[in-house]
Amino acid sequence: MDFRNKVIYQIYPKSFYDSDHDGIGDLRGIIEKIPYIVKLNVNMIWFNPFFVSPQKDNGYDVADYRAVDPRLGTMEDFEELVAKLKAHQIDVMLDMVFNHTSTKHEWFQKALNGSKKYQDYYIIKEPKPNGGLPTNWTSKFGGPAWEKFGSTDRYYLHLYDKSQADLNWRNPEVRNELYSIINFWMTKGVKGFRFDVINVTGKDARLVDAKPGEESKSLYTDKPVVHDYLQEMNRESFGKAADTVTVGEMSSTSIENSVGYTNPDNHELTMVFSFHHLKVDYQNGEKWTKTKFDFMKLKRILDNWQSGMAKGNGWNALFWNNHDQPRAINRFGDPGEYRVKSAQMLATVIHLLRGTPYIYMGEEIGMTDPDYHGIGDYDDIEAINAYHALLKKGLSENEAFDIVHAKARDNSRTPMQWADKENAGFSSHQPWLKPTNYRQINVEKELNEGSIFNYYQKLIQLRKNDPIVSHGGYESLLMDHPDVFAYFRTYQNQKLLVLNNFFKRNTAVTVPDQYLSLDSRVLISNYDRQTFEKSIILKPYEAIAFLLIDRESGEQHV
Ligand code: NOJ
């Protein structure tokens, strides 16, 4: 099947289902829940890392790329999982964390023990002549990006936590090691790879300070050499199997680079995750703030990426949620009265755009952020660091918590809510993160009486069956409308008109006359709307897609 017809589901293994009742989800738990995933009818599952790891950053600190963390399962479990999913035509995508390793990885340990070969696997630098850190770069989790290298007077670079040491991609031996890890997993039947923050791997040989007012990330993000690395990786590993699906997680990237990463002529990746659309509720670009999202900005960003990527023949990964984001319903929808409608509307936006949609576990039942009340409920290193940084800035405990509560990554990492039972039916043991509103929101209830899961099923089916959804072009529409994100998809003599009301109020849309004479059919609607007419009053969080066919023009574009 063409990758453009696929929909990918994301599972955070620690939080999906706990089969051995130790409070942590595991691979056997996922095997038990395969029938549930099959119902949704997705084509591939992206698993967050389950490799051996000290879990300082929940598995993004890998200590052994070729082994399963015993807390999550065994290699036999993984092989069984792949085989059982394959029996349902579901493929597996693994998360390759190649910008850094855990400092517990044997390469780093050998480096610490004095091996010159392995010291050259990492970015280890002398202090400045005045004894200061090699550069003024900051870690993405707060504080400086440098840590003392053992008992030497040198420092190693860590763009994330100090337990995540950045690899030296300039060293070809490092790159070859990484390619052989991909090849290892391919022999196990893995058909997809997600590459963690892959566009920050291109550090220069000589690292320099960020100038006043300049962000350090501009010095190592999207460097041209990343394209060379990706082309080489493609040649040496996944490119050998034509049907492999790859996605690069691109931190602060540009459309231009993302076209480069994904235009098939370049032989780099299938698609990219970009994040600009999820920063529209950041005040002055700062994540740890709390403010309402800027709708017009959201529209502009989505529209620019759609148009720009289509123009350059690039390909977007489409998503609202993942394990690093608070739940989208809380940010862009309404977790209260209109939870269902807003969940459906947000799903419509993403699933009918040009690109590949990702569904993050729980999204298909409308899960929302947990009702947490104190920093003690949170586990994530980033949230805890941010909380203390906010206190240090002078915010009160309540103010700091309020912000963390709105933005923490743990908001989406809480256990999957299976049933209105103790621990949300996730485990009989107290889960590693507390589930909260599972009495109202859970799989059992959703499958019995809900209307979000079956809405997702419909959207997935549309992408599988309708070429306008999977292969169509994109055209912007109503860019000045203050409430509605609207767009056209185009294919042969068809147009798909998609209207999404992002607000709680009714709002009017006027359809241009030239479209009114076309044959029309409702492809999907979250309010059972049937008629296509000049003036459409959209209800709160209403989403609707009309397929318009120009019978006169045959195979021509309308
Ligand atoms: C992006 C991952 O999605 C995130 O969870 C992780 O903390 C960082 N990369 C570092 O690996």
Q: Is the CB of 487 under 6 A from ligand 1?
A: no
556 within some domain: no
Angle at 372 between CA 371 and CA 377, to 5 degrees: 145
Quote the tokens at residue 463: 């992408």
CB of 61 closer than 6 angstroms to any ligand 1 atom = no
98 CB near ligand 1 (under 6 Å): no
244 and 127 housed in the same domain: no
228 C-alpha to center of ligand 1: Å? 23
- Rounded Cα gap, residues 198 and 230, in angstroms: 9
Q: Are residues 32 and 128 both part of a single domain?
A: no
- Indicate the pLDDT class of residue 558, thresholds 50, 70 and 90: very low
| Separation between Cα atoms, residue 43 and residue 245, nearest integer Å | 11
Pocket of ligand 1, candidates 160, 195, 253: which has the most ligand atoms within 8 Å of its Cβ, to mutate? Answer: 160
| Spatial distance between the Cα atoms of 67 and 75, rounded to a whole number of angstroms | 7
Does a structural domain hold residue 351?
Answer: yes
- Looking at the fold, whether 64 and 178 belong to one and the same domain comes out as yes
DSSP assignments along 243-296, one per residue: T-EEEEE-TT--HHHHHHHH-GGG-S-SEEE--GGG-TTSBTTBSS------HH
**CA of residue 17 to ligand 1 center, whole Å:** 22
260-278 residue pLDDT tens: 999 999 999 999 999 999 9
Does 369 share its domain with 494? no
Cβ–Cβ contacts within 10 Å for residue 293, how many?
15
β-pair type (356-360, 8-11): parallel
Report how many domains make up the chain: 3
Q: Do residues 92 and 45 lie in contact, with contact meaning Cβ atoms separated by under 8 Å?
A: yes
pLDDT tens for 167-198 read 999 999 999 999 999 999 999 999 999 999 99
Residue 160 Cβ contacting ligand 1 at under 6 Å: yes
Task: Determine the Cα–Cα distance for residues 527 and 342; give it in Å rounded to an integer.
Answer: 11
Strands 473-477 and 356-360: unpaired
Query: Are 249 and 205 in the same domain?
Result: yes
Q: What angle do the packed helices 225-236 and 172-187 form, to 10 degrees?
A: 40
Of 460, 481, 500, the residue at which a domain comes to its end is: 460
Q: Which amino acid is at 180?
A: S
- The closest-lying atom of ligand 1 relative to the alpha carbon of residue 61 is 11
Residue type, 345: M
Residues 94 and 150 in one domain: no
Report phi then psi at 224, rounded to 5.
-50, -30
Q: Looking at ligand 1, which residue's alpha carbon is closest to its atom 3?
A: 324
Q: Where are the beta strands (DSSP E) in 112-163?
A: 124-125, 146-148, 155-157
**Domain shared by 77 and 205, yes or no:** yes
Token reading at 351: 């699933």
Given a contact cutoff of 8 angstroms between Cβ atoms, the answer to whether 84 and 33 are in contact is: no
Q: Is 324 in the pocket of ligand 1 (CB under 6 A)?
A: yes
- 3 state SS of 124: strand
409 part of a folded domain: yes
Residue 557 lies in a domain: no
Active-site residue among 61, 147, 196, 542?
196
Q: Which of 533, 338, 335, 347 is nearest to 456 (CA)?
A: 347
| pLDDT value at 342 more than 70 | yes
Give me the CATH number covering residue 86.
3.20.20.80
Within this chain, do residues 159 and 178 fall inside the same structural domain, yes or no? Answer: no
Phi/psi at 254 (5° precision): -120, 165
* pLDDT cut 70: percent of the chain above it: 99
In a domain, 466, yes or no: no
* 3-class state of residue 437 by DSSP: coil
Give residue 557's pLDDT band: very low, low, confident or very high (50, 70, 90). very low
Single out the residue in 166, 182, 217 at which a domain terminates.
166
**Nearest CA owner, ligand 1 atom 5:** 324
Give the domain extent around 414.
Answer: 3-99+172-460
Return the CATH number at 495.
2.60.40.1180
Q: Of 279, 278, 280, whose CA–CA distance to 295 is shortest?
A: 280
pLDDT of residue 248: 99
Q: Does residue 197 have its Cβ closer than 6 Å to ligand 1?
A: yes
Catalytic residue list contains 80:
no
Work out whether strand 494-501 and strand 484-491 pair parallel, antiparallel, or are unpaired.
antiparallel
* CA-CA-CA-CA torsion sign (419, 423, 428, 433): positive
Which residue reads 């022999």 in tokens?
187
Q: Which of 148, 166, 184 is the last residue of a domain?
A: 166
Let me know if residue 339 belongs to a domain. yes
Give Cβ neighbours of residue 151 (< 8 Å, ≥ 6 apart): none
Is residue 456 domain-shared with residue 318, that is, in the same domain?
Answer: yes
- Residue closest by Cα to atom 2 of ligand 1: 196
* 22 and 141 share one domain: no
553 band by pLDDT with thresholds 50, 70 and 90: confident
153: its two tokens? 């007077």
Q: What number of CA atoms fall less than 13 Å from residue 358's CA on the CB side? A: 24
- Is the CB–ligand 1 distance for residue 196 below 6 Å? yes
Task: Report the alpha-carbon distance of residue 531 to residue 520 in Å, rounded.
Answer: 9
Does residue 133 share a domain with residue 27?
no
pLDDT at residue 465 tops 50: yes
* Residues 106-137 pLDDT 10s: 999 999 999 999 999 999 999 999 999 999 99
User: For the segment 10-68, what is each residue's pLDDT rounded down to a tens digit?
Assistant: 999 999 999 999 999 999 999 999 999 999 999 999 999 999 999 999 999 999 999 99
Cα torsion angle, 235, 237, 239, 242, sign: positive
Q: List CB contacts of 377: < 8 A, sequence separation 6 or more.
A: 370, 433, 434
CATH of the domain at 139: 3.90.400.10
Decide whether any atom of ligand 1 lies within 6 Å of the 57 Cβ: yes
Please choose, from the candidates 440, 448, 447, 450, the residue with its C-alpha nearest in 3D space to the C-alpha of residue 336. 440
Would you say the pTM of this structure is higher than 0.95?
yes
Question: Looking at the structure, do residues 196 and 59 belong to the same domain, yes or no?
Answer: yes
Q: How confident is the model at residue 522 (pLDDT cuts 50, 70, 90)?
A: very high
554 within some domain:
no
**Tell me: the pLDDT tens digits for 422-457?**
999 999 999 999 999 999 999 999 999 999 999 999
Output the six-digit token pair for 451: 């209307």
Classify residue 514: in a domain, yes or no. Answer: yes
Residue nearest (by alpha carbon) to ligand 1 atom 6: 60
**Residue 334 falls in the annotated catalytic set:** no
